[in-house]
């Protein structure tokens, strides 16, 4: 009499996740479009410079400083206009809306490397790196519960909803800037400033979810698999000191040793000197 219920429960637990086809198609298109950078007609050092600059603006100021240390963990405070600017920069990475990003990351810290972790590293490197975003996961339904502090903010609502049209607007702007710089460079600016830059920022950010739960050293016993990985810190402006971060998640400084270079912490110190970063929290370990 107990066999049928057990089979039913097992079946429910093993139900395959539903793919997010819009995300899968978008990622495929962006990655394929980035390959256009290999065409000689699309290469220019000016376009490469645009991509590097936007990598810092969107990935460094936007994701690392804005989405992560400022909003997700509230490790420091800024004037509201600066907070909105940083969130705007982060929205240009096309890593989903800011509310979704913040909510899922807060869940990651609560359930790090456990079943409810949105990118549980126990499920494999590829899952934690990128394929977790290709499926409807249970954590998606919990975002609202973890983002009540920003849910009613009209600016956050706008950026959460319209991050994709903003990317299109940036592409149009880059095209005309390229043409103004030198006729014929408009498309080069778009290929490098949008497609190449998006792909590089995607994978730099994802390495924090995957590589820093697999490679590197551990300074603290943080009850998960988080590690400190120097090369991830290099491409993410200091986010690679992930074990430090998991042990002291509200600290604005992630690189706690002198050799753990943390460019984002240096940025916060600069803002602090200007009076634009206040109530800066630091690790007590």
pTM: 0.92
Residue 14's pLDDT is 57
Residue 278 within a domain: no
Residue 157 within a domain: yes
The total number of structural domains in the chain stands at 1
Write the CB contacts of 66 (distance below 8 Å, at least 6 apart in sequence).
83, 86, 87, 89, 90
Residue 208 within a domain: yes
Q: What is the mean pLDDT of each run of 10 residues along the chain (285 residues)?
A: 39 71 97 97 96 98 98 98 98 96 96 94 96 95 95 97 97 98 96 98 98 96 94 98 96 96 98 98 86
> Domain range holding 158?
18-273
The phi-psi region of residue 226 (left if phi > 0; otherwise alpha if psi is between -120 and 50; otherwise beta) is: beta
Residue 285's pLDDT is 63
Residue 12 within a domain: no
Residue 281 within a domain: no
Residue 259 near residue 240 (C-beta atoms within 8 A): no
Residue 57 within a domain: yes
Residue 6 within a domain: no
Write the CB contacts of 52 (distance below 8 Å, at least 6 apart in sequence).
none
Residue 284 within a domain: no
209: exposed, middle or buried (Cβ count in 10 Å: 0-12, 13-18, 19+): buried
Write the CB contacts of 6 (distance below 8 Å, at least 6 apart in sequence).
none
**Within a 10 A sphere around the Cβ of 148, how many other Cβ atoms?**
9
């Amino acid at each position: 009499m107990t066999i049928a219920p057990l089979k039913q429960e097992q079946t429910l637990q093993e139900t395959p996740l539903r793919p997010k086809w819009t995300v899968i198609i978008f990622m495929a298109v962006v990655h394929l479009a980035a390959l256009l950078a290999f065409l000689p007609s699309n290469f220019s050092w000016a376009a490469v410079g645009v991509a590097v600059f936007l990598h810092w603006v969107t990935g460094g100021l936007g994701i690392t400083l804005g989405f992560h240390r400022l909003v997700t963990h509230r490790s420091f405070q800024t004037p509201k206009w600066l907070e909105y600017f940083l969130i705007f920069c982060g929205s240009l990475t096309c890593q989903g809306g800011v509310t979704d990003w913040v909510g899922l990351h807060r869940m990651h810290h609560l359930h790090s490397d456990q079943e409810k972790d949105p990118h549980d590293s126990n499920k494999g490197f590829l899952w934690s790196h990128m394929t977790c975003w290709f499926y409807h996961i249970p954590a998606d339904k919990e975002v609202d519960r973890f983002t009540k502090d920003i849910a009613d903010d009209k600016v956050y609502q706008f950026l959460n909803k319209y991050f994709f049209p903003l990317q299109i607007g940036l592409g149009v702007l880059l095209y005309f800037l390229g043409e103004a710089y030198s006729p014929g460079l408009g498309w080069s600016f778009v290929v490098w400033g949008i497609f190449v830059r998006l792909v590089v920022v995607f994978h730099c950010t994802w390495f924090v979810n995957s590589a820093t739960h697999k490679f590197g050293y551990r300074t603290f016993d943080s009850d998960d698999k988080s590690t400190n990985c120097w090369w991830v810190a290099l491409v993410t402006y200091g986010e690679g000191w992930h074990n430090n971060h998991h042990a002291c998640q509200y600290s604005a400084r992630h690189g706690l040793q002198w050799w753990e270079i943390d460019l984002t912490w240096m940025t916060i110190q600069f803002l602090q000197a200007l009076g634009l970063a206040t109530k800066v929290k630091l690790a007590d370990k």
